[in-house]
């Protein structure tokens, strides 16, 4: 079966072999199937094009007698000379690690193809096709959506449509990393938070209120903004009563640094809201949140709510007027 399908397979793989490094692990150069595959590739490319494969065919072999290293050699196939690279090692772990950290590069021709086939959305709040702003990993789950994709240089500022598409995690990142995306506080208050409030109980509201000049309860009332669900929260609401006894018995006398150092991040996030305000070191907590930023994303962690409570308590102590 392989013998019959091999020429077709080789033809399909030629472009891949020419444009990308191909690593063979667990296959010997003497393997009958590998030899047949290389033979067909050589016959399709011809002698004048074999140089294009230099450094792209990499065979990883188990070192014999301590002969570890990388060597470049020529493999003779039907009178043709095929350049290959051989990597010998008695430990494949560093090889797997090197492959793991290698980032995939998208060929320019692929981007050009995408640009030709997809619509571009430019400063429009009324797109003529169905549009869904979702995580790219979930695209296959939405079969009935016509997608709008832009390929190019991202703007330094978020558009009006973009503010409506921001998620809670974007606000927490903005809070923890001090407005690294240059978000407009007015649009956050007017568009983003009202949309998110339907499903998110914990959001960093005070930061954005301060940025638009609201520095007291009177200022807040005078502006007629309706974010009471978040503004009226007290520090007690960020802790979970289920863990109060556990905190009192084992964690109460620890500083914030000690609490973080002696507990897994998930447990530290549960206990931190119990720390009294005068002992709540906001900078230590901010660093803790920055180091565990992915834990605030509900798709990454079952403890995301606890981490968000810590973040909300952090902004409450830093930005609130009470």
Q: Whose CA is closest to 176, among 286, 256, 273, 284?
A: 286
pLDDT of residue 284: 94
What confidence tens digit (pLDDT) does each residue in 222-276 have?
A: 988 888 888 888 888 899 888 999 999 999 999 999 999 999 999 999 999 999 9
pLDDT of residue 181: 61
- Cα–Cα dist 200/192, whole Å: 11
Please compute the mean of the pLDDT values over residues 159-168 and round it to a whole number: 66
pLDDT of residue 154: 46
Is the whole-model pTM more than 0.75?
no
Residue 174 predicted with pLDDT over 70: yes
Q: Where are the domains of the chain?
A: 2-101, 106-153, 157-230, 235-319
- Cα–Cα dist 57/38, whole Å: 10
Name 59's bridge partners. Answer: 24, 86
Angle at Cα 119 formed by Cα 118 and Cα 125, nearest 5°?
Answer: 150
What confidence tens digit (pLDDT) does each residue in 12-22 have?
A: 666 677 777 88
- Cα–Cα dist 320/210, whole Å: 8
- Alpha helices for 20-103 (secondary structure H): 32-45, 93-101
């Amino acid at each position: 079966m392989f013998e019959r399908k091999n020429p077709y397979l080789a033809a399909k793989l030629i472009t891949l072999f020419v444009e990308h490094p191909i690593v063979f692990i667990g296959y010997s150069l003497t393997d009958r199937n590998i030899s047949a595959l290389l033979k067909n590739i050589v016959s399709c490319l011809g002698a004048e094009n074999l140089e294009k494969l230099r450094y792209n065919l990499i065979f990883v072999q188990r070192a014999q007698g301590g002969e570890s290293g990388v060597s470049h050699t020529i493999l003779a196939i039907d009178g043709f000379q095929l350049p290959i690279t051989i990597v010998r090692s008695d430990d494949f772990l560093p090889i797997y690690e090197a492959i793991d950290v290698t980032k995939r590069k998208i060929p320019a021709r692929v981007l050009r193809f995408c640009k030709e086939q997809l619509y571009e959305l430019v400063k429009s709040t009324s797109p003529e096709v169905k549009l869904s702003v979702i995580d790219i990993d979930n695209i296959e789950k939405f079969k009935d959506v016509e997608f709008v994709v832009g390929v190019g240089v991202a703007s330094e500022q978020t558009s009006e449509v973009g503010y409506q598409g921001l998620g809670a995690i974007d606000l927490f990142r903005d809070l923890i990393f001090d407005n690294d995306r240059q978000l407009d506080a007015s649009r956050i208050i007017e568009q983003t938070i009202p949309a998110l409030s339907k499903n998110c109980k914990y959001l960093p509201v005070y930061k954005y209120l301060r940025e638009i000049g609201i520095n007291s309860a009177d200022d807040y009332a005078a502006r007629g903004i309706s974010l009471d669900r978040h503004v009226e929260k007290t520090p007690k609401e960020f802790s979970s009563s289920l863990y109060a006894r556990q905190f009192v018995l084992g964690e109460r006398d620890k500083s914030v640094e000690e609490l973080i150092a002696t507990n897994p991040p998930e447990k530290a996030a549960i206990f931190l809201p119990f720390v009294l305000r005068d002992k709540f070191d906001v900078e230590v907590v901010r660093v803790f949140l920055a180091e565990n930023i992915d834990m605030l994303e509900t798709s990454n962690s079952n403890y995301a709510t606890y981490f968000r409570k810590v973040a909300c308590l952090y902004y409450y102590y830093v930005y609130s007027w009470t």
